[in-house]
Amino acid sequence: MHEVESHPVEIRELSQDECLRHLRAQRLGRVAVVTPAGQPLIFPVNFVFDEGVIVFKTAPGTKLALATQAVVAFEIDGWDEASSSGWSVLVQGVAHDVSANHDFRSERLRRLEVKPMAPGARERWVGIWADEITGRYF
């Protein structure tokens, strides 16, 4: 029988500054929505974080339909194989389609450099206004 090697495990909360630093540095995350039947769905998106708002571009479809005017979750994470350590940041908030809004903030968000990697046109802009940002280091 093989003996399992144990490593001390540290899980700690990330500070707000650490969470914001990770959000500003990353460009790929996952947005989680819930279908009317209660089924969770998770979609990868390229994003930019700007003044408390996660901004991504998408095409018409399931993600846009389920996220708009809904409470959603957004998550990013990272892992360092060499040190066997990682981190995760979770943003919870309400998503809004800001594609056609003419207010100053929506227009400013649409000027951000969001570069979707998915093929096809991504002309709809979605902003997730962060109500809560939390993170963990492990």
| pLDDT one-digit tens code per residue, 99-112 | 988 888 889 999 99
Q: What is the mean pLDDT of the chain?
A: 92
- Specify if 5 maps to a domain: no
φ/ψ of 93, rounded to 5, equals 180, -175
| Structure-model confidence comparison of residues 48 and 8, the more confident one | 48
Q: What is the CATH number of the domain that holds 56?
A: 2.30.110.10
Whether this prediction's pTM lies above 0.85 is answered by: yes
Please tell me the predicted confidence (pLDDT) of residue 7. Answer: 54
| pLDDT one-digit tens code per residue, 61-84 | 999 999 999 999 999 999 999 988
Q: Structurally, how many domains does the chain consist of?
A: 1
Please tell me the predicted confidence (pLDDT) of residue 83. Answer: 87
- Specify if 16 maps to a domain: yes
- Specify if 7 maps to a domain: no
Output the six-digit token pair for 53: 């708002």
Taking CA atoms, 21 is separated from 79, 89, 94, in Å, by 16, 10, 21
Residues 56 and 110: beta-carbon distance below 8 Å = no
Over range 13-18, report the average pLDDT: 97
